[in-house]
Structure 1
Amino acid sequence: MTSSSSARRRLLCGPEDTSVLYLHRQHVSNNIWEGVLTEDVSCRRYKGIIWYVPIHPRVLAVIDEMGFGGILRCGQPKDIDHHLIIVLIERWRPETHTFHFPVGEATMTLEDVEVLWGLKVDGDALTGYLGFIPDAVDLKEMVWKQTSLSNQLKIELSDVHHQYIYVQRARVYCLLLLGGLMILNASGNKIPLFYLQFFMDVERCASYSWGGATLACLYHNLCEAALARRIDVGGALTLLHLWAWERIPNIRPHMVNRFHRTDFVKQDRRGKSSQNWVEYYANHKQDWDNRHNMVWTDVEYSTKPIATDEYMDWFRRITEVYLTKPGVHAQEGFHETTSSHSYAVN
């Protein structure tokens, strides 16, 4: 009787208890199970030249001061494993902001962002302001193309310029890193003009939580993609790729040959010229500003596994294990052989 009940649970699509995953019917995994064809997801990534042009030491010093030296020194991003990103999207649950794997939950944290990319996470919340409200028509055109900014890097600097010239060049690098890697939008080639405001004051720039903004943008894009609301996925997918390699070692490739002005009206790039984003997200900003009072210190850190039998029993009731029907050959594509895999977790 016990084995029959266990087998039923293993073959059940979707959660037995829907109180947690209440968006399951809208999730892409439900379409996979039902055999509904979905559009291919396009993963955006930066293909710029900033790692192929020489950088002046004084420019690099400014970039370090602004807080972007760590991500710059990570080097040119490699090609994204498209299939890996798709699998992670299918396992991402917007209700909990975690990946639901057969062995339990996992997610990317601020610590991961800081360690992998060297970005500041304990800083001021990133909210946009321009100081004026442009016309809606003008706002839609207030973007830079990455190619236009990249072309500026081809102009070599000497050692005799005034300091502001090196600061200007550092801003170009930071804009490309921000709009091309950290907060990459779905267009893949356009960087909103209002990002420039964050780089006008070098000291102020270093006070922002760039890691927090990067993670929030990635979460948002994963949620949108998991609910099939977009097929062009932006955000820091390169960082997600690195996180997967770091946290799931068995998929990691082997290396061969080692070698403030808060009173301004806030603005976004989508034409909502009357929206004050500081007021709109006031509650979230207050939570972030109060983050130091919300650190759980009652429990000592332990290296022992936290996926207890009690937790796993609860987890399997509220999640789904299979994404495709066992024994059924799925449509051609990434899921082609997934349906033939057995459930190997006790």
Structure 2
Amino acid sequence: MARTRGAHLVGGESSQQGKRIRPTASARKRACEGDVGVPRVNVVHEHQHVDDDSVVDEPQNFGEVQEEHEEGAAYPEGPYDTSLLTSYSDHVAFLLWQGEDWGELKLISHGKKCNKLGVCHPNVEEFVVNSGLMPLCDISYEYADKGLIYAFVERWHRETNSFHLPVGEMTVTLDDVSMLLHVPIIRQFCPNVPLDNASAMAPLIELLGVDRAKATTKLRQCRGPRVRLSWLKDLYEDYCETEQWEDLAPCGGYAWGVAALVHMYEQLGDACFAYTIQLAGYPTLLQSWIYEHFPGMGRKEMVGNYDETQPRMARFRTGRQICYVRDVRVQIDMLTYDG
């Protein structure tokens, strides 16, 4: 769950009348070309006088739009049709165009901690293999490239679930998830049920054998329906020796890749707001996607002994050194179709 800076985010709905246009790239292109049926923003020059009931039909250039930031008005250097990017006034891009800095975004990454867990215990290896999640056991990047990820977050728009780049729109697809992670994408959809402390306590007691008092204490320490990874690690090591495992076969029937992609979309949609201070999720997926599709970006090394049967994200090795946001912004601005 992304955290915000405490400000209330407001995204104005479109005030234009008529049938709503789906927020797709093709619809935006038709709007730019002036196709019939696609709403346009009416722009009035200072020297013109228009009655309340009249409409200016002549298309205006993008650079000539007025600089008012009211609901339904155009934004200088930004979208001129607010029926598409309805929350642009709260987007970090709007803040950057005004010359302001959106501050430090905290990136939550447990890659180093996950890698310290080591290989699967023999008593649980069968369950992990059957779940389809075995490829994730040893390929998480220990260091997240914050500057690289921040620069792409600035380009993400939740209305289209895509990065808006000089060469067009791009997004992470299910095919990318399958290629990069080698986790299943064609199985049963994994339901996302909101948990409270009471419902989160049940699996701790029934599946992990934790007594109610200890489960209650751990949930209170985390102030919600969650527990610390370090505690799970200790619990896992003790529990592996008991060989008293419940039936975990249903875990192998879920499309984990779909769940991972949906969660990442949600986190990016929250993080692109100017008032958000935290980005959660699985940064290794986004970082490896950038490495794969933008070879010239990021401070990474190619793994010499990479095997083509491994997930594609295993081709790269990361270090402590990260990119500067300003440098990545320049790289993105200079993107070409050939690149």
Which residue is 2:84 aligned to?
Answer: 20
Query: Any gaps of 5 or more consecutive residues in structure 2?
Result: 1-59, 65-75, 202-215, 307-323
Cα deviation for residue 30 of structure 1 reads 0.6
Deviation at 1:337, TM superposition (A): 9.2
Q: Distance in 1 between matches of 2:332 and 2:186?
A: 42
Q: Partner residue of 2:109? A: 45
When residues 56 and 219 of structure 1 are mapped into structure 2, their CA distance, relative to the original with a 3 A threshold, is: same
Which of 259, 262, 269 pairs up with 1:213? 259
In structure 2, the partner of 1:311 is: none
AA aligned opposite 1:69: M
Query: Within 1, Cα distance between the matches of 2:288 and 2:83?
Result: 32
**For 1:246-265, what aligned pairs fall within 5 Å after superposition?**
246-251=292-297, 253-255=300-302, 258=305
Aligned pair 1:150/2:233, yes or no? yes
Question: How do 1:6-17 and structure 2 match up within 5 A?
Answer: 13-17=77-81
Cα-to-partner distance string for 1:143-192 (whole Å, 9 max, x where unaligned): 221111112455596xxx77x44x4xxxxxxxxxxxxxxxxxxxxxxxxx
Aligned to 1:98: 162
* Cα distance in structure 2, aligned partners of 1:97 and 1:155: 42
Alpha carbons of 1:258 and 1:336: their partners in 2 closer, same or farther (altered >3 Å)? closer
Conserved? CA contact 1:63–1:69, under 8 Å: yes
Paired residues for 1:1-346 under 5 Å:
13-46=77-110, 47-72=112-137, 74-128=138-192, 134=198, 140-154=223-237, 164-165=243-244, 167=245, 201-251=247-297, 253-255=300-302, 258=305, 334-335=325-326, 345=336
Q: What's the secondary structure of 2:147's corresponding residue?
A: helix
Aligned to 1:305: none
Structure number with bigger Rg:
2
Distance in 2, Cα, partners of 1:34 & 1:242? 31
Greater helix fraction, Structure 1 or Structure 2: 1
Matched AA of 2:189: A
Give the structure 2 partner of residue 279 of structure 1. Answer: none
**Does the 8 Å contact 1:53/1:154 carry over to 2?**
no
* Contact preservation (8 Å) 2:185, 2:257: yes
Quote the offset at 1:338 in angstroms. Answer: 5.1
Q: Is the 8 A contact 1:67 1:120 kept in 2?
A: yes
In 2 relative to 1, CA 124–226 (structure 1 residues): closer, same or farther, beyond 3 Å?
same
The alpha-carbon deviation at position 344 of structure 1 amounts to 6.8
Percent of counterpart pairs with the same letter? 26
Structure 2 residue aligned with 1:323: none
Per-residue deviation, 1:214: 1.0
Distance 1:142 1:103, change over 3 A: closer
Question: Quick check: 1:126–1:213 contact (8 Å CA) kept in 2?
Answer: yes
1:19 is displaced (CA, Å) by 3.1
Alpha-carbon distance change, 59 to 50 in structure 1, aligned in 2, over 3 angstroms: farther
The TM-score normalised by the length of structure 1 is: 0.56
Q: Which has the higher contact order (CA 8 A, sep 6+)?
A: 1
1:92 corresponds to which letter in structure 2?
A: W
Distance (Å, rounded) in 2 between the aligned partners of 1:337 and 1:55: 37
8 Å contact 2:166–2:333 — kept in the other structure? no
What letter corresponds to residue 19 of structure 1 in structure 2?
Answer: S
CA RMSD of aligned residues (A): 3.8
Q: What is the distance in 1 between the residues matched to 2:194 and 2:229?
A: 21
| TM superposition score normalised by structure 2 | 0.57
Q: Deviations over 1:225-280 (max 9, x none)?
A: 11234211101211100111011122253437657xxxxxxxxxxxxxxxxxxxxx
* Partner secondary structure for residue 143 of structure 2: coil
Aligned-pair CA distance for 1:221: 0.8
Distance 1:156 1:143, change over 3 A: closer
